[in-house]
Amino acid sequence: MPLQLKVRWDLTLNDLAGFQRAGFPVFKTPHVGNWYPNNLACAQLGIPMKVVDATKGSLDRNFHPHCIIRAGKRMQIARDDVLTSHARVTHPYVSDVVTALGDTATVDVHMDALKRAVPQAQTQTLCAYLHQHAQRVMALLEVLTREDHTIWQRYAYENGTTENRGVHTWTAVEVAGVVGTNASRAGWLSPNIANILMDVTIDPSCFGGAGDVYELSGPDMYRYIDEMMPKLSAFYDLVRRTLDWGLPEVMTLHLVPVADMRFVVPPARRSALDHLVDLWLSTQYFEASVGERMRVATDKRTLIQQVRDQRSGFHEHLRAAVAECSDPFYDISDGTFLSQYDLLDHPEGLYIHPWALETSFHDLTEAVRTLRRFLP
Protein backbone atom coordinates (compact mmCIF):
# COMPACT_ATOMS: atom_id res chain seq x y z
CA MET A 1 0.00 0.00 0.00
CA PRO A 2 1.30 3.50 -0.79
CA LEU A 3 0.31 4.60 2.73
CA GLN A 4 1.23 2.05 5.36
CA LEU A 5 0.06 2.01 8.97
CA LYS A 6 2.17 0.76 11.85
CA VAL A 7 0.73 0.91 15.37
CA ARG A 8 3.85 1.31 17.49
CA TRP A 9 3.33 -0.07 20.98
CA ASP A 10 7.07 -0.78 21.09
CA LEU A 11 8.22 2.85 21.16
CA THR A 12 9.01 5.06 24.15
CA LEU A 13 8.76 8.80 24.69
CA ASN A 14 12.56 8.95 24.52
CA ASP A 15 12.40 7.25 21.11
CA LEU A 16 9.94 9.86 19.86
CA ALA A 17 12.15 12.69 21.11
CA GLY A 18 15.01 11.14 19.16
CA PHE A 19 12.94 10.94 15.96
CA GLN A 20 11.96 14.58 16.42
CA ARG A 21 15.60 15.63 16.83
CA ALA A 22 16.44 13.66 13.67
CA GLY A 23 13.96 15.77 11.68
CA PHE A 24 10.99 13.43 11.35
CA PRO A 25 7.47 14.84 11.77
CA VAL A 26 6.36 13.96 15.32
CA PHE A 27 3.15 15.41 16.72
CA LYS A 28 -0.01 14.84 18.73
CA THR A 29 -3.54 15.98 17.88
CA PRO A 30 -5.43 16.73 21.12
CA HIS A 31 -8.54 18.91 21.15
CA VAL A 32 -9.02 22.43 22.42
CA GLY A 33 -10.24 22.30 25.99
CA ASN A 34 -9.00 20.91 29.27
CA TRP A 35 -5.85 18.88 28.82
CA TYR A 36 -5.37 15.89 31.11
CA PRO A 37 -1.88 15.01 32.44
CA ASN A 38 -0.90 12.82 29.48
CA ASN A 39 -1.29 15.72 27.05
CA LEU A 40 0.28 18.20 29.46
CA ALA A 41 3.34 15.93 29.78
CA CYS A 42 3.71 15.59 25.99
CA ALA A 43 3.49 19.37 25.65
CA GLN A 44 6.01 19.85 28.45
CA LEU A 45 8.42 17.53 26.61
CA GLY A 46 8.21 19.76 23.53
CA ILE A 47 6.18 17.48 21.28
CA PRO A 48 4.32 19.66 18.74
CA MET A 49 0.57 19.70 19.31
CA LYS A 50 -1.89 20.20 16.43
CA VAL A 51 -4.97 21.22 18.39
CA VAL A 52 -8.33 20.25 16.91
CA ASP A 53 -10.96 22.97 17.39
CA ALA A 54 -13.79 21.67 15.15
CA THR A 55 -15.43 19.96 18.12
CA LYS A 56 -18.52 20.44 20.27
CA GLY A 57 -18.69 20.23 24.04
CA SER A 58 -21.79 18.04 23.92
CA LEU A 59 -19.83 15.37 22.04
CA ASP A 60 -16.30 15.82 23.35
CA ARG A 61 -16.15 13.77 26.55
CA ASN A 62 -12.35 13.80 26.56
CA PHE A 63 -11.61 17.53 26.68
CA HIS A 64 -14.90 19.18 27.80
CA PRO A 65 -14.19 22.41 25.84
CA HIS A 66 -17.32 24.19 27.09
CA CYS A 67 -16.02 23.98 30.66
CA ILE A 68 -13.10 24.90 32.88
CA ILE A 69 -11.84 21.99 34.98
CA ARG A 70 -9.96 23.03 38.10
CA ALA A 71 -9.45 21.48 41.54
CA GLY A 72 -11.51 18.47 40.54
CA LYS A 73 -14.55 20.55 39.58
CA ARG A 74 -16.05 21.28 36.18
CA MET A 75 -17.56 24.72 35.56
CA GLN A 76 -19.45 25.44 32.33
CA ILE A 77 -18.38 28.65 30.60
CA ALA A 78 -19.87 28.32 27.11
CA ARG A 79 -22.57 26.64 25.07
CA ASP A 80 -21.94 22.97 24.36
CA ASP A 81 -23.94 22.84 21.11
CA VAL A 82 -21.71 25.05 18.93
CA LEU A 83 -18.27 24.51 17.47
CA THR A 84 -15.46 25.14 19.93
CA SER A 85 -13.76 27.26 17.25
CA HIS A 86 -16.77 29.59 17.31
CA ALA A 87 -17.85 29.40 20.96
CA ARG A 88 -17.79 32.47 23.22
CA VAL A 89 -17.89 32.66 26.98
CA THR A 90 -21.50 32.88 28.15
CA HIS A 91 -20.87 32.09 31.83
CA PRO A 92 -17.96 34.30 32.99
CA TYR A 93 -15.47 32.71 35.36
CA VAL A 94 -12.96 34.63 37.44
CA SER A 95 -10.52 33.24 40.01
CA ASP A 96 -7.12 34.17 41.37
CA VAL A 97 -5.37 32.70 38.30
CA VAL A 98 -8.07 32.39 35.62
CA THR A 99 -10.18 35.07 33.98
CA ALA A 100 -12.82 34.14 31.41
CA LEU A 101 -14.85 37.25 30.73
CA GLY A 102 -18.13 37.28 28.85
CA ASP A 103 -17.93 37.03 25.04
CA THR A 104 -14.24 35.98 25.10
CA ALA A 105 -13.43 33.26 22.57
CA THR A 106 -13.46 29.92 24.39
CA VAL A 107 -10.43 28.80 22.37
CA ASP A 108 -8.47 31.79 23.66
CA VAL A 109 -9.39 31.02 27.28
CA HIS A 110 -8.13 27.43 27.07
CA MET A 111 -5.05 28.13 24.97
CA ASP A 112 -3.99 31.12 27.07
CA ALA A 113 -4.16 29.01 30.24
CA LEU A 114 -2.18 26.28 28.49
CA LYS A 115 0.54 28.67 27.34
CA ARG A 116 0.89 30.06 30.86
CA ALA A 117 0.88 26.62 32.46
CA VAL A 118 3.30 25.04 29.95
CA PRO A 119 5.33 27.90 28.42
CA GLN A 120 7.42 25.54 26.27
CA ALA A 121 4.34 24.02 24.61
CA GLN A 122 4.39 24.07 20.79
CA THR A 123 0.74 24.44 19.84
CA GLN A 124 -1.29 25.38 16.80
CA THR A 125 -5.04 25.09 16.38
CA LEU A 126 -6.47 23.33 13.34
CA CYS A 127 -7.98 26.59 12.07
CA ALA A 128 -4.58 28.29 12.33
CA TYR A 129 -2.92 25.33 10.59
CA LEU A 130 -5.43 25.41 7.73
CA HIS A 131 -4.89 29.15 7.37
CA GLN A 132 -1.08 28.83 7.39
CA HIS A 133 -1.15 26.14 4.69
CA ALA A 134 -4.28 27.38 2.90
CA GLN A 135 -2.88 27.06 -0.62
CA ARG A 136 -1.78 23.45 -0.15
CA VAL A 137 -4.88 22.57 1.86
CA MET A 138 -7.17 23.76 -0.92
CA ALA A 139 -5.11 21.98 -3.55
CA LEU A 140 -5.34 18.73 -1.61
CA LEU A 141 -9.06 19.13 -0.96
CA GLU A 142 -9.71 19.77 -4.65
CA VAL A 143 -7.94 16.53 -5.61
CA LEU A 144 -9.92 14.56 -3.04
CA THR A 145 -13.26 16.16 -3.94
CA ARG A 146 -12.88 15.48 -7.66
CA GLU A 147 -12.21 11.85 -6.74
CA ASP A 148 -14.96 11.46 -4.11
CA HIS A 149 -17.29 14.33 -3.23
CA THR A 150 -18.96 12.29 -0.46
CA ILE A 151 -16.11 13.10 1.93
CA TRP A 152 -17.91 16.39 2.71
CA GLN A 153 -20.44 15.95 5.49
CA ARG A 154 -20.58 19.04 7.73
CA TYR A 155 -21.31 22.69 7.07
CA ALA A 156 -20.73 25.38 9.71
CA TYR A 157 -22.76 28.56 10.09
CA GLU A 158 -21.45 31.89 11.34
CA ASN A 159 -22.85 31.28 14.83
CA GLY A 160 -21.07 27.92 15.21
CA THR A 161 -24.05 25.66 14.63
CA THR A 162 -23.56 22.92 12.06
CA GLU A 163 -25.62 21.01 9.54
CA ASN A 164 -24.98 17.51 8.24
CA ARG A 165 -25.14 17.73 4.48
CA GLY A 166 -23.15 16.92 1.37
CA VAL A 167 -21.83 18.67 -1.68
CA HIS A 168 -21.37 17.45 -5.26
CA THR A 169 -18.80 19.71 -6.89
CA TRP A 170 -15.50 21.33 -6.00
CA THR A 171 -16.87 24.63 -7.31
CA ALA A 172 -19.58 24.53 -4.64
CA VAL A 173 -16.93 23.96 -1.97
CA GLU A 174 -14.85 26.87 -3.27
CA VAL A 175 -17.84 29.22 -3.33
CA ALA A 176 -18.88 28.41 0.25
CA GLY A 177 -15.29 28.20 1.50
CA VAL A 178 -13.57 25.93 4.02
CA VAL A 179 -13.52 27.11 7.63
CA GLY A 180 -10.00 28.03 8.65
CA THR A 181 -8.59 28.64 5.18
CA ASN A 182 -9.99 32.17 5.08
CA ALA A 183 -11.40 34.77 7.44
CA SER A 184 -14.99 33.57 7.15
CA ARG A 185 -16.54 31.73 10.09
CA ALA A 186 -19.07 30.05 7.82
CA GLY A 187 -18.26 27.31 5.35
CA TRP A 188 -17.48 23.62 5.00
CA LEU A 189 -15.61 21.81 7.76
CA SER A 190 -12.54 19.97 6.52
CA PRO A 191 -13.35 16.22 6.58
CA ASN A 192 -11.55 14.06 9.14
CA ILE A 193 -10.09 11.82 6.43
CA ALA A 194 -8.63 14.90 4.75
CA ASN A 195 -7.16 16.14 8.05
CA ILE A 196 -5.40 12.81 8.55
CA LEU A 197 -4.14 12.93 4.97
CA MET A 198 -2.71 16.41 5.60
CA ASP A 199 -0.64 14.91 8.40
CA VAL A 200 1.10 12.59 5.93
CA THR A 201 1.29 14.91 2.90
CA ILE A 202 1.51 18.59 3.81
CA ASP A 203 3.68 18.10 6.88
CA PRO A 204 6.16 15.65 5.28
CA SER A 205 6.43 17.85 2.19
CA CYS A 206 7.43 20.70 4.48
CA PHE A 207 10.03 18.41 6.06
CA GLY A 208 11.68 17.61 2.73
CA GLY A 209 9.73 14.50 1.80
CA ALA A 210 10.20 12.41 4.94
CA GLY A 211 8.87 8.89 4.43
CA ASP A 212 7.94 8.35 8.06
CA VAL A 213 5.46 10.30 10.17
CA TYR A 214 5.01 9.70 13.91
CA GLU A 215 1.58 10.64 15.22
CA LEU A 216 0.78 10.19 18.90
CA SER A 217 -2.69 8.75 19.36
CA GLY A 218 -4.99 9.38 22.29
CA PRO A 219 -7.49 6.77 23.49
CA ASP A 220 -9.54 6.71 20.26
CA MET A 221 -7.65 7.19 17.00
CA TYR A 222 -5.64 3.97 16.95
CA ARG A 223 -8.89 2.04 17.42
CA TYR A 224 -10.76 3.45 14.40
CA ILE A 225 -8.10 4.29 11.82
CA ASP A 226 -7.55 0.75 10.55
CA GLU A 227 -10.87 0.68 8.71
CA MET A 228 -9.98 3.97 7.01
CA MET A 229 -6.62 2.79 5.68
CA PRO A 230 -7.68 1.45 2.22
CA LYS A 231 -9.26 4.79 1.35
CA LEU A 232 -6.48 6.81 2.98
CA SER A 233 -3.85 4.88 1.04
CA ALA A 234 -5.66 5.36 -2.28
CA PHE A 235 -6.04 9.07 -1.54
CA TYR A 236 -2.38 9.37 -0.61
CA ASP A 237 -1.29 7.80 -3.90
CA LEU A 238 -3.64 10.08 -5.82
CA VAL A 239 -2.27 13.21 -4.10
CA ARG A 240 1.32 12.04 -4.58
CA ARG A 241 0.79 11.54 -8.32
CA THR A 242 -1.27 14.69 -8.85
CA LEU A 243 0.55 17.30 -6.77
CA ASP A 244 4.24 18.01 -7.19
CA TRP A 245 5.13 17.97 -3.51
CA GLY A 246 8.02 15.54 -3.61
CA LEU A 247 6.20 12.88 -1.62
CA PRO A 248 7.72 9.37 -1.51
CA GLU A 249 6.00 6.46 -3.26
CA VAL A 250 5.52 4.79 0.09
CA MET A 251 4.71 6.71 3.26
CA THR A 252 4.56 5.08 6.69
CA LEU A 253 2.28 6.47 9.37
CA HIS A 254 3.59 5.33 12.74
CA LEU A 255 0.62 5.66 15.07
CA VAL A 256 1.77 5.61 18.69
CA PRO A 257 -0.85 4.90 21.41
CA VAL A 258 0.34 7.12 24.25
CA ALA A 259 -2.83 7.52 26.32
CA ASP A 260 -1.54 5.31 29.14
CA MET A 261 1.61 7.33 29.69
CA ARG A 262 0.00 8.47 32.92
CA PHE A 263 2.86 8.42 35.42
CA VAL A 264 2.83 12.19 35.74
CA VAL A 265 2.07 14.27 38.85
CA PRO A 266 2.59 17.74 40.31
CA PRO A 267 5.97 17.98 42.06
CA ALA A 268 4.37 17.77 45.51
CA ARG A 269 3.18 14.27 44.62
CA ARG A 270 6.57 13.05 43.42
CA SER A 271 7.42 10.82 46.40
CA ALA A 272 4.06 9.03 46.22
CA LEU A 273 4.52 8.32 42.51
CA ASP A 274 8.12 7.18 43.03
CA HIS A 275 6.95 4.74 45.69
CA LEU A 276 4.19 3.38 43.45
CA VAL A 277 6.54 2.83 40.51
CA ASP A 278 9.22 1.25 42.72
CA LEU A 279 6.68 -1.21 44.08
CA TRP A 280 5.40 -2.00 40.60
CA LEU A 281 8.91 -2.73 39.33
CA SER A 282 9.69 -4.87 42.38
CA THR A 283 6.50 -6.84 41.79
CA GLN A 284 7.41 -7.35 38.14
CA TYR A 285 10.89 -8.56 39.12
CA PHE A 286 9.33 -10.98 41.61
CA GLU A 287 6.89 -12.40 39.05
CA ALA A 288 9.67 -12.79 36.48
CA SER A 289 11.74 -14.79 38.96
CA VAL A 290 9.06 -17.31 39.83
CA GLY A 291 9.63 -19.52 36.81
CA GLU A 292 13.34 -19.99 37.49
CA ARG A 293 12.73 -20.57 41.19
CA MET A 294 10.24 -23.30 40.34
CA ARG A 295 12.66 -24.88 37.87
CA VAL A 296 15.44 -25.36 40.42
CA ALA A 297 13.26 -26.00 43.49
CA THR A 298 13.51 -29.40 45.16
CA ASP A 299 10.45 -28.85 47.34
CA LYS A 300 7.97 -27.36 44.91
CA ARG A 301 5.00 -27.64 47.26
CA THR A 302 6.70 -25.47 49.87
CA LEU A 303 7.86 -23.00 47.22
CA ILE A 304 4.33 -22.67 45.81
CA GLN A 305 3.06 -21.64 49.25
CA GLN A 306 5.97 -19.22 49.66
CA VAL A 307 5.21 -17.66 46.29
CA ARG A 308 1.54 -17.28 47.20
CA ASP A 309 2.42 -15.59 50.49
CA GLN A 310 4.96 -13.31 48.83
CA ARG A 311 2.56 -12.40 46.06
CA SER A 312 -0.11 -11.61 48.61
CA GLY A 313 2.34 -9.33 50.38
CA PHE A 314 3.24 -7.48 47.18
CA HIS A 315 -0.45 -7.03 46.37
CA GLU A 316 -1.14 -5.65 49.83
CA HIS A 317 1.65 -3.09 49.42
CA LEU A 318 0.46 -2.21 45.91
CA ARG A 319 -3.08 -1.68 47.16
CA ALA A 320 -1.81 0.79 49.74
CA ALA A 321 0.44 2.55 47.22
CA VAL A 322 -2.36 2.91 44.69
CA ALA A 323 -4.64 4.32 47.38
CA GLU A 324 -1.93 6.83 48.26
CA CYS A 325 -1.17 7.69 44.62
CA SER A 326 -4.32 7.30 42.54
CA ASP A 327 -3.24 10.23 40.33
CA PRO A 328 -2.43 8.12 37.21
CA PHE A 329 -5.87 6.51 37.15
CA TYR A 330 -8.00 9.53 36.27
CA ASP A 331 -11.12 9.11 34.16
CA ILE A 332 -11.13 11.72 31.40
CA SER A 333 -14.85 11.30 30.74
CA ASP A 334 -15.95 12.56 34.15
CA GLY A 335 -14.16 15.90 33.78
CA THR A 336 -12.50 16.00 37.20
CA PHE A 337 -8.88 15.37 36.18
CA LEU A 338 -5.89 17.65 36.76
CA SER A 339 -5.78 20.17 33.89
CA GLN A 340 -3.71 23.14 32.74
CA TYR A 341 -5.81 25.28 35.07
CA ASP A 342 -4.43 23.36 38.06
CA LEU A 343 -0.88 23.79 36.76
CA LEU A 344 -1.28 27.55 37.04
CA ASP A 345 -0.83 26.90 40.76
CA HIS A 346 2.32 24.87 40.02
CA PRO A 347 4.63 27.02 37.87
CA GLU A 348 7.41 24.44 38.29
CA GLY A 349 5.52 22.11 35.91
CA LEU A 350 4.85 18.39 36.12
CA TYR A 351 7.04 15.58 37.40
CA ILE A 352 7.29 12.86 34.75
CA HIS A 353 8.71 9.65 36.19
CA PRO A 354 11.95 8.73 34.35
CA TRP A 355 10.75 5.12 34.02
CA ALA A 356 7.77 6.37 32.00
CA LEU A 357 10.11 8.05 29.51
CA GLU A 358 12.15 4.92 28.79
CA THR A 359 9.42 2.27 28.95
CA SER A 360 7.45 1.08 25.90
CA PHE A 361 3.83 2.14 25.60
CA HIS A 362 2.89 -1.53 25.64
CA ASP A 363 4.44 -1.96 29.08
CA LEU A 364 2.99 1.32 30.35
CA THR A 365 -0.48 0.23 29.27
CA GLU A 366 -0.02 -3.14 30.98
CA ALA A 367 1.07 -1.37 34.17
CA VAL A 368 -1.97 0.95 34.17
CA ARG A 369 -4.41 -1.89 33.48
CA THR A 370 -2.94 -4.05 36.23
CA LEU A 371 -2.62 -1.32 38.83
CA ARG A 372 -6.22 -0.20 38.28
CA ARG A 373 -7.31 -3.49 39.85
CA PHE A 374 -5.88 -2.29 43.16
CA LEU A 375 -7.98 0.89 43.28
CA PRO A 376 -10.15 1.08 46.42
pLDDT in tens, 63-108: 999 999 999 999 999 999 999 999 999 999 999 989 999 999 999 9
pLDDT range class, residue 170, cuts 50, 70, 90? very high
Do residues 344 and 116 make contact, with C-beta atoms less than 8 angstroms apart? yes
Both 60 and 106 in one domain: the answer is yes
In the predicted model, is pLDDT for residue 119 greater than 80? yes
Determine the Cα–Cα distance for residues 221 and 8; give it in Å rounded to an integer. Answer: 13
Both 280 and 325 in one domain: the answer is yes
Both 360 and 248 in one domain: the answer is no
Average pLDDT over residues 179-208: 90
Both 33 and 73 in one domain: the answer is yes
What sections of the chain are H helices per DSSP?
A: 13-21, 37-44, 106-117, 126-132, 134-147, 170-176, 192-206, 221-224, 229-242, 270-296, 300-324, 340-343, 354-358, 361-372
Q: Across all residues in the chain, what is the average pLDDT? A: 95
Determine the Cα–Cα distance for residues 32 and 295; give it in Å rounded to an integer. Answer: 54
Is residue 241 a part of any domain in this protein?
A: yes
Both 87 and 26 in one domain: the answer is yes
Both 121 and 231 in one domain: the answer is yes
Is residue 155 a part of any domain in this protein?
A: no
Determine the Cα–Cα distance for residues 366 and 109; give it in Å rounded to an integer. Answer: 36
Is residue 58 a part of any domain in this protein?
A: yes
Both 214 and 362 in one domain: the answer is no
Determine the Cα–Cα distance for residues 63 and 121; give it in Å rounded to an integer. Answer: 17
Tell me which of 230, 257, 284 is where a domain ends.
257
User: Which percentage of the chain shows pLDDT scores above 90?
Assistant: 87
Q: Write phi, then psi, for 164 (nearest 5 degrees).
A: -85, 115
Both 213 and 354 in one domain: the answer is no
Both 125 and 103 in one domain: the answer is yes
Do residues 369 and 375 make contact, with C-beta atoms less than 8 angstroms apart? no
229-242 vs 192-206: helix crossing angle, rounded to 10? 50
Is residue 360 a part of any domain in this protein?
A: yes
In the predicted model, is pLDDT for residue 307 greater than 90? no
Q: How many CB atoms lie within 10 A of CB 22?
A: 10
In the predicted model, is pLDDT for residue 207 greater than 90? no
Mention every residue, 6+ apart, whose C-beta is less than 8 A from residue 51: 29, 30, 31, 32, 111, 123, 124, 125, 126
pLDDT range class, residue 340, cuts 50, 70, 90? very high
In the predicted model, is pLDDT for residue 191 greater than 80? yes
Full strand arrangement of the beta sheet holding 26-28: 3-7, 251-257, 212-217, 26-28, 49-51, 123-125
Q: What is the pLDDT, as a whole number, of residue 290?
A: 81
Which residue pairs, CB below 8 angstroms and at least 24 apart, start in 230-235? 230/1, 231/193, 232/3, 232/193, 232/196, 232/197, 233/1, 233/2, 233/3, 233/4, 234/2, 235/3, 235/144, 235/147, 235/193, 235/197
pLDDT range class, residue 222, cuts 50, 70, 90? confident
Is residue 46 a part of any domain in this protein?
A: yes
Is residue 338 a part of any domain in this protein?
A: no
Q: What is the pLDDT, as a whole number, of residue 209?
A: 63
Residues paired with 31 in a beta bridge: 52
The alpha carbon of residue 81 and the mean position of all alpha carbons in its chain are separated, in whole angstroms, by 22
Q: What is the pLDDT, as a whole number, of residue 291?
A: 78
pLDDT range class, residue 146, cuts 50, 70, 90? very high
Q: What is the pLDDT, as a whole number, of residue 220?
A: 87
Look at the chain and report how many structural domains it folds into: 2
Is residue 165 a part of any domain in this protein?
A: no
Both 361 and 234 in one domain: the answer is no
Tell me which of 257, 284, 311 is where a domain ends.
257
User: Which DSSP category does 88 fall into?
Assistant: B
* Residue-range definition of the domain harbouring residue 215: 3-129+192-257
Average pLDDT over residues 14-32: 94
Both 8 and 89 in one domain: the answer is yes
Determine if residue 210 is left, alpha or beta; phi over 0 gives left, psi from -120 to 50 gives alpha, anything else beta: beta
Both 101 and 246 in one domain: the answer is yes
Average pLDDT over residues 5-29: 95
Determine the Cα–Cα distance for residues 129 and 108; give it in Å rounded to an integer. Answer: 16
Q: Environment class of residue 140 by beta-carbon count within 10 Å: exposed (0-12), middle (13-18) or buried (19+)?
A: buried
Determine the Cα–Cα distance for residues 155 and 186; give it in Å rounded to an integer. Answer: 8
Q: Environment class of residue 298 by beta-carbon count within 10 Å: exposed (0-12), middle (13-18) or buried (19+)?
A: exposed
The alpha carbon of residue 236 and the mean position of all alpha carbons in its chain are separated, in whole angstroms, by 23
Q: How many CB atoms lie within 10 A of CB 343?
A: 24
